[in-house]
Amino acid sequence: MTLIYLDGQWLDKASAKVSVFDHGLLYGDGVFEGMRVYGGRTFKLAEHVARLYDSAKAILLDVPISREEMIRVTDEGVKRAGLSEGYLRHVITRGVGDLGLDPRKCPRASIIIIFDTIAIWPAERYEQGLTLITAGTPINHREALSPRVKSLNYLNHIMAKVEATNAGADDAIMLDTAGHIAEATGMNLFLWKQGVLSTPPAYAGQLLGVTRDTVIALAGEAGYPVRETMLNRYDLYTADEAFLTGTAAEVAPIRMVDGRVIGAGKAGPVTRDLRARFLKLVRG
């Protein structure tokens, strides 16, 4: 069942409500995390909570409970919701204030945790691969708001997703202002070319994902060379394989980008291997 934790209360989907004066709604003033539940356990819970609190600290947002309490509440919610396989969304907003921008008018941050499920693509996409386009909408400039802050300001990602939807694609690749590949609309990107696995580095301007870090570690264990380097669309178009990673996406192969077929046009052997290793890890 869908369950919501809202500032100390356990509610259902119909009864969980936030104020129209919450600055998360009015200004996108807040941070969030997505987490995945496998076999009744939240994968990399401590790592996700650490990133949530780091994001909050970066925007001077004081989370009203400790990290340990956040972990305890999350574990309790998974049990209350009866989730064996599920998806969690943790949201910390600046809280209720007035119609002005001043965060001092928001005396206490608000905590929302949604316990639910998610499936962003049909199962066959993980065999056939995804069709992507390059979005005209770039990522935010990294000096305006650090991409390492997982903030509620996701409008540019939504507009890129709209571009993909209008083009009949599954998702979109987003570039930085210099034309380098940063990420998909909510996922990290990997390329396999001539025996090397490549992914954009931290300074490329994308959010560094927990799943991304997990796949890099799994690739190292499998003996695949991994490099973090700036990439452009030529690198993507000419890759032997390419895939996306993310909490909701897991490890998803790419079939085509901007009309160019990637590799064999379906999940390649390295992608299959890393996806199998990832699924074994999360369910082990």
Per DSSP (E only), the strands in 55-194 are 86-93, 110-116, 130-134, 171-175, 181-184, 188-193
Parallel/antiparallel/unpaired status of strands 110-116 and 226-228: unpaired
150 catalytic residue (yes or no): yes
How far CA 135 is from CA of 76, 88, 246, in Å, comes to 40, 28, 19
Parallel/antiparallel/unpaired status of strands 250-257 and 130-134: parallel
Which residues face 109 on adjacent strands? none
Candidate list 17, 44, 105, 150, residue with the active-site label: 150
| 8 Å CB contact between 36 and 247 | yes
Measure the CA–CA gap between 137 and 153, rounded to whole angstroms. 14
Catalytic residue list: 150
